């Protein structure tokens, strides 16, 4: 029942939001709704037993409405639930035209995300996969930057092609199941020969790779992140990219174990190319949003490479990092949004000296930046350490190349910090003031999470342990 409520609360409140006449009412209502979801998610996380919900849906098609939460599901639902109140707090002072529609669509996206992480029926999963996409399309196209229409369209077509290929793969798998069903266990039980596995592997993988995104499917991402309204960018880069990683672990690897072994080298090399390539581009960026976008590609590349190393400690690292990257990147986006709202620019070359004017912001930015570099004692360190550990055991040369991206991450992140908070004041930053209370509140919570999980990562590892073991048993 809790699982169902996690889905229904954002869905119902999202629909109610559309009906609210006043923008402010919608803002308060959606904040309240997201806090309620968070409370529920915490209850779910602390429920030791398995949580699920199951009812008949499309019996003709062999599909049931089945939700189930394992450790990974709990962790990602928690991430989705944590992120939303933070986002709504951070954008509390922003003015959106037609705010009730904006917050309604945001909550519908949350419902879609929850569904993706909860569904254990493949067709249901597909439905939520799309449900998460469509509101984002409208959010970006309606409230985004000037090039929003073309950019969002590219994003939509990309992901839609991916979804359709996945649908073909799903259909094929469905007819291979013994009992003609979409349930996850029936799909896991299908034993295909290697040739079919390799074809189907790619049908699914392309869909997930576009979502993550992995080189060379990433071209939609920097533009989309840059042009979207920042609240939506936060959802996209904080949570939506995790859909791809989650789907690889939940669906792809257990269904096609032979093909996973066969292609793991290809995927790892693609991911590592993406990491290094994105890091180099990030160095050259002048726009804060684009810089964070490329840095995000590099981080995701590491996660995707680590999944395919076939190493349980690396997979543990991926689990922790999924949560932590979500938190950290949102911290960075909140700061980027704050700078843009307050100073009217996102260009590093036009910023400088903010440490004098806004000391609180400077401190918090440094914390987020250090977490982005994965310095020890920040939350990202544990995850990246475990993932690199796995990559080293897989192939030392690949790990060495991937290691370059760590150095580069320090280069571009510290360069950004330096240009924003040090140096002389510029025309734009002369009249800067410190963080407003709501943003300070959101960022302090994120900073606390960064440090707490950096010092004490064990609970997160415990939470997702069952998913990691399950994957290795299945293989």
Partner 1 sequence: MNAIIVSAILGVVMMFSGMFTKHKSTITLTAIAALFILLGANLLNSYGIFSIQVNTHELLYFNKLGLYFNTILIAATLIFVLLSGREIENVGINTAEYYALIFFVLCGTTILTSFNGLLMLFLGIEIMSIPLYILTGAEKRNLKSNEASLKYFLMGAFSTGIMLMGIALLYGATGSFALSGQSVLPPSVGIPGASFLQAGGLILLFVSMCFKVSAAPFHFWTPDVYDGAPTVFTSFMATIVKAAGFFAFIKVFDANAALLGPSWKILLSIVIIATLFVGNITAVFQRSIKRMLAYSSIAQAGFMLFALYSYNDMAYQGILLYTVAYCLATIGFFAVLMKVKDYTFDGLNGLAAASPVLAFAATVFLLSLAGIPLTAGFFAKYYMLASVVKAGGALWIVIAAVLFAAVSVYYYFKVIQSMYFKEGQPELNEISTGFKVGVLLLAAGIITIGVLPSIVLNWLYF
Q: Where do contacts with partner 1 occur on this chain (CB under 8 A)?
A: 57-60, 126-127, 130-131, 134, 138, 141-142, 148-149, 153, 156-157, 160-161, 164-165, 167-168, 171-172, 174-175, 199, 203
How far is it, in rounded angstroms, from Cα 297 to Cα 325? 11
Name the strand (E) or helix (H) holding 458: helix 458-474
- CA dihedral defined by 329, 330, 331, 337, rounded to 10 degrees? 110
Pair 275, 388: CB distance under 8 Å: no
Residue 121 pairs in a beta bridge with 183
For residue 139, give Cα distances in angstroms to 115, 237, 327. Answer: 19, 14, 21
Nearest to partner 1 of 27, 148 (CB atom): 148
Minimum CB–partner distance for residue 168 and partner 1 (Å): 5
Give least dist CB 123 to partner 1, A: 9
Tokens for 233? 């960018």
Minimum CB separation of residue 84 from partner 1 in Å reads: 22
Closest separation between CB of residue 43 and partner 1, Å?
28
Hey, which residues does 66 pair with through a beta bridge? 54
Q: Which of 96, 441 has the CB closer to partner 1?
A: 96
Distance CA 323, CA 164 (A): 28
- Least spacing, CB of residue 425 vs partner 1, in Å: 38
User: Tokens 């291979």 label which residue?
Assistant: 176
**Token digits of residue 166:** 């996945």
Q: Which is nearer to partner 1, 168 or 452 (CB)?
A: 168
Nearer to partner 1, 196 or 393 (CB): 196
Q: Is the peptide bond before 287 cis (omega within 30 degrees of 0)?
A: no
Beta-bridge mates of residue 54: 66
Q: Which of 180/284 has CB closer to partner 1?
A: 180
**The pairing of beta strand 51-58 with beta strand 63-69:** antiparallel
Q: Give the distance, in angstroms, between the CA of residue 349 and the centroid of all CA atoms in the same chain.
A: 29
Distance of CA 283 to the CA centre of its chain: 22
Nearer to partner 1, 117 or 308 (CB): 117
Q: Token pair of 59, please? A: 């019996």
Minimal distance, residue 99 CB to partner 1, in Å: 15
Peptide bond into 254 cis (omega under 30): no
Q: Which of 199, 233, 214 is nearest to 158 (CA)?
A: 214
Nearer to partner 1, 156 or 217 (CB): 156
Residue number with CB closer to partner 1 (6 or 105): 105
Closest to partner 1 by CB, 213 vs 352, is 213
Smallest gap from Cβ 203 to partner 1, in A, equals: 8
Task: Write down the least CB distance from residue 197 to partner 1, Å.
Answer: 13
Q: How far is the CB of 167 from partner 1 (least distance, A)?
A: 7
């Amino acid at each position: 029942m809790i699982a169902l409520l996690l889905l229904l609360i954002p869905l119902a409140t999202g629909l109610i939001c559309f009906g609210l006449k006043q923008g402010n009412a919608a803002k308060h209502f959606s904040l309240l709704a997201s806090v309620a979801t968070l409370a529920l998610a915490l209850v779910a996380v602390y429920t030791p037993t398995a949580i699920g919900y199951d009812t008949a849906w499309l019996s003709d098609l062999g599909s049931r409405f089945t939700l189930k939460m394992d450790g990974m599901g709990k962790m990602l639902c928690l991430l989705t639930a944590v992120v939303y109140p933070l986002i709504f707090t951070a954008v509390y002072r922003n003015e959106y035209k037609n705010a009730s529609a904006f917050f309604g669509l945001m909550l519908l996206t949350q419902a879609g995300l929850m569904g993706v992480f909860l569904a254990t029926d493949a067709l249901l999963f597909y439905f939520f996969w799309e449900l998460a996409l469509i509101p984002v399309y409208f959010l970006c196209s309606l409230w985004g930057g000037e090039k929003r229409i073309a950019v969002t369209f590219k994003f939509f077509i990309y992901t839609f092609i991916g979804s359709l290929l996945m649908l073909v793969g799903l259909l094929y798998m469905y007819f291979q199941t013994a009992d003609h069903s979409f349930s996850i266990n029936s799909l896991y039980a299908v034993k295909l020969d290697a040739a079919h596995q390799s074809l189907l592997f790619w049908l699914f993988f392309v869909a997930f790779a576009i979502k993550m995104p992995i080189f060379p499917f990433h071209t939609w991402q920097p533009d989309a992140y840059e042009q979207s309204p920042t609240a939506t960018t936060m959802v996209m880069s904080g949570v939506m990219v995790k859909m791809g990683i989650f789907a690889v672990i939940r669906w792809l690897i257990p269904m096609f174990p032979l093909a996973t072994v066969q292609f793991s080298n290809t995927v790892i090399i693609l991911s590592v190319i993406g990491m290094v390539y994105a890091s180099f581009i990030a160095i050259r960026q002048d726009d804060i949003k684009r810089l964070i976008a490329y840095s995000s590609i590099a981080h995701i590349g590491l996660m995707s490479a680590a999944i395919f190393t076939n190493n349980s400690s690396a997979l543990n690292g991926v689990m922790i990092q999924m949560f932590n990257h979500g938190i950290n990147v949102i911290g960075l986006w909140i700061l980027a949004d704050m700078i843009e709202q307050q100073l009217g620019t996102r260009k590093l070359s036009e910023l400088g000296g903010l440490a004098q004017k806004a000391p609180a912001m400077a401190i918090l930015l440094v914390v987020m930046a250090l977490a982005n570099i994965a310095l020890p004692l920040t939350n990202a360190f544990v995850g990246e350490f475990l993932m690199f550990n796995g990559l080293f055991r897989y192939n030392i040369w690949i790990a060495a190349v991937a290691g370059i991206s760590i150095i580069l991450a320090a280069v571009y992140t510290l360069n950004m910090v330096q240009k924003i908070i040090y140096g002389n004041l510029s025309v734009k930053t002369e009249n800067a003031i410190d963080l407003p209370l709501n943003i300070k509140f959101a960022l302090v919570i994120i900073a606390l999470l960064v440090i707490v999980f950096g010092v004490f990562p064990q609970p997160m590892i415990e939470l997702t342990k069952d998913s990691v073991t399950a994957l290795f048993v299945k293989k």
